[in-house]
Structure 1
Amino acid sequence: MTPTSLVTREHLAQFRDEGYFVLDRVLTDEQLELLRGGAQYSIDKLDAAMDAAGTDSLGINHRGKRYFSSMIYQDRPELRQFLFSDTMAEICRATLGDQAYLFWEQYVIKAGDPDTAFAWHQDSGYVHEDHEPYLTCWIALDDVTEENGSVYLLPYSRSGIRSYVKHIRDPELNDMVCYFGSDPGLSMTAAAGSIVVFSSVVIHRSGANLTDRNRRVYIAQYSREIISSKDGTTAHGSFDPFLDGGRIVADR
């Protein structure tokens, strides 16, 4: 791992030892407005899918409560300006190296509702056990507080876990769950425009939004390799090439 002007040696030491670091208020106003522009679209798209299915719940999505709307950049290509930006390239070079792919992208939006918490999991728990850990960039589009649904991490030193662990599906919420202990986790309160960067094997959860306003987060995930589906027949995610030999090769 190599430091950059954005990601310092201290950040990288923390990433190595604890699995995460935080970049405070690093998005420009233009980047923040670009990402906010897709938030309502992501809600409307899932509501329409629920309407078509005649349900108020699709997977881990629950109407009017919480939304995990993925691959929105494929509908709104202007998001590529951020996903393949110099900002994200610096983060990927520092943590993943000179080869990187966009693996997954999604909006995570919580309405004001006490049932919007999300269970302890690893992002890798939603893939399968046979892959190299990838990178999650959790981007606050609003000021994130404990009251409106902060993410809570279990750093390596607190969980003792640095690799994939088996998850169990919650039969009511469809959440994948991997931790049932009493540690509340480390709250990642963050100002809008900040990025919480962590490994896909860091155990984390998020609290409920107890305010009367939506809490909007954008997540961009990158990997060193193309992660295949569990049966090996297809790619699991998007895998748009981003960095090759450290150079941005993506179309922006």
Structure 2
Amino acid sequence: MNHQLENTHIEFYQKNGYLIVDNFLDDRELAVWREAVDEAVAARKNNRLPYNTAKIPAKAQGEAVFQQRINLWMDHPGVRRLMFDDRIGKMAAHLEGVDGIRIWHDQAFIKHPWANPTTWHQDNTKWSFSSEHAITIWVALDNVTLQNGCMFFLPGSHKARLKDHPAAGNRVGAMFETYPELGGLEPAPVVLRAGGCSFHNGLMVHAAHANMTPYPRRAFTCAYMPNGSTFNGTSNVLPDATLESLQIGDVLDDDDQNPLIYSRRQAERIC
């Protein structure tokens, strides 16, 4: 795993809100990731979440954009081993300059042939915690090209402090109607070979092309929250039992739901 970060990588990330890491996984590691994710997605069937047995309608709008299966680490040991790799947690923590990182949720993204584009959006505004230091890793399990649905980032948009987040529906450029000043930013395409990855800040404005090929485009991602993050009242992917136990302002530190995968203090004690 190509997990070493230089100061120049951290500086680029903090300025632009994203970082591309080529050859993140070697061929052997890529094969392990593909096998684990494919098995986990197949075992989950039509359940998006491990603790929600409601089936996803075959023509659900989200499924027209990509097939999404969340928190596969909870019910597949192979994915769990991948997600608990503290080398990834250390990268995320160092890029964001925080002491500890917890899993918010993982997810498989499978953009099927001819699938729709993903509209411009931010991630953290949908989550159950609010942070300027949320971060996501996005690992390409297939080659990701301009033709099959690569992402695009708006460099520096993570610093824009956007307040309103209108529902975009299927209008790709809806965000620019609310924030025309973002329309002057030049999008950066995230073209990756299989085994490469990107990191992006939770407030990064990003989108993805349609898949204009007859082949699926597989990716696996994990969103992380800084240790010590607190509940903001949004349900997002939290199970009902957890939501019932929380009040706004409570620290999200349940290791069964949001495990701590890297702590600088713990690492220093071990050393």
The reply to whether TM is greater than 0.5 is yes
Distance between the aligned counterparts of 1:101 and 1:107, measured in 2?
A: 18
Using the aligned pairs only, state the percent identity: 19
**Equivalent residue for 2:46?**
47
Q: Say if 1:48 and 1:130 are closer, same or farther in 2 by CA, change over 3 A.
A: closer
Name the stretch that deviates more: 30-39 or 225-234. Answer: 225-234
Q: What is the 5 A alignment of 1:106-185? A: 106-113=107-114, 115-127=115-127, 130-156=130-156, 159=157, 161-171=159-169, 178-180=175-177, 182=183, 185=187
Match of 1:208 in 2: 210
Q: Any idea what the Cα deviations from partners look like across 1:148-198, whole Å, max 9, x if unmatched?
A: 000000011xx484435421223469x996344555621010111111111
Larger mean CA deviation between 25-34 and 119-128 belongs to: 25-34
1:74 Cα offset (Å): 0.8
Alignment match, 1:23:
21
Q: Deviations over 1:211-240 (max 9, x none)?
A: 111101111121213342416537599411
RMSD of aligned alpha carbons: 3.3
For residues 86 and 160 of structure 1, do their structure 2 counterparts lie closer, same or farther at Cα, with a shift above 3 Å needed?
Answer: closer
Q: How many positions carry a matched residue from both structures? A: 239
TM-score by length of 2: 0.75
Task: Call closer, same or farther: CA 1:46–1:59 in 2, change over 3 Å.
Answer: farther
Partner of 2:30: 32
Question: 2: distance between equivalents of 1:229 and 1:135?
Answer: 17
2:46 match: secondary structure: helix
1:14-48 deviation line (CA, Å, top 9, x unaligned): 11211111111111333322321223642663536
Greater shift in the superposed pair: 235-244 or 7-16: 235-244
Measured after TM superposition, the shift of residue 245 of structure 1 is: 3.1
CA shift at 1:5, angstroms?
6.7
AA aligned to 1:13 is: E
Find the aligned partners of 2:62 and 2:40 in 1 and give their Cα distance.
18
Please name the residue that 2:192 is paired with: 190
* TM-aligned CA deviation for residue 93 of structure 1: 3.5
Give 3-state SS (helix, strand or coil) of 1:47's partner: coil
What secondary structure is seen at the aligned counterpart in 2 of 1:169? coil
Shift of 1:138: 0.9
TM-score (norm 1): 0.80
Q: Which residue of 2 aligns with 1:84?
A: 84
Q: Distance in 1 between matches of 2:224 and 2:158?
A: 24
> In the alignment, is the contact (CA less than 8 A) between 1:112 and 1:210 conserved in 2?
yes
* Contact persistence 1:6–1:90 (CA under 8 A): no
Q: Is the 8 A contact 1:121 1:178 kept in 2?
A: yes
Going by fraction, where is helix more abundant, 1 or 2? 2
Deviations 1:94-139 (Å, cap 9, x if unpaired)? 22433111111001110111x4210000111322684343011111
| Whole-angstrom CA distance in 2 between matches of 1:162 and 1:23 | 24
Structure 2 CA distance for aligned equivalents of residues 184 and 67 of structure 1: 28
Distance in 1, Cα, partners of 2:198 & 2:6: 14
Q: Give the match for residue 103 of structure 2.
A: 102
Note the residue ranges of structure 1 that are not aligned, 5 or more in a row.
none
Please report how far the alpha carbon of residue 86 of structure 1 lies from its aligned counterpart in structure 2 after TM superposition.
Answer: 4.3
Q: Counterpart of 2:145 in structure 1: which amino acid?
A: T
1:6 corresponds to 2:7? no
Corresponding residue SS for 2:218: strand
Superposed, which structure 2 residues align to 1:55-74 within 5 Å? Answer: 55-58=57-60, 60-62=62-64, 66-74=66-74
Letter in 1 for 2:92: C
CA distance in 2, matches of 1:177, 1:47: 29
Q: Which amino acid aligns with 1:108?
A: F
Q: Secondary structure at the match of 1:61?
A: helix
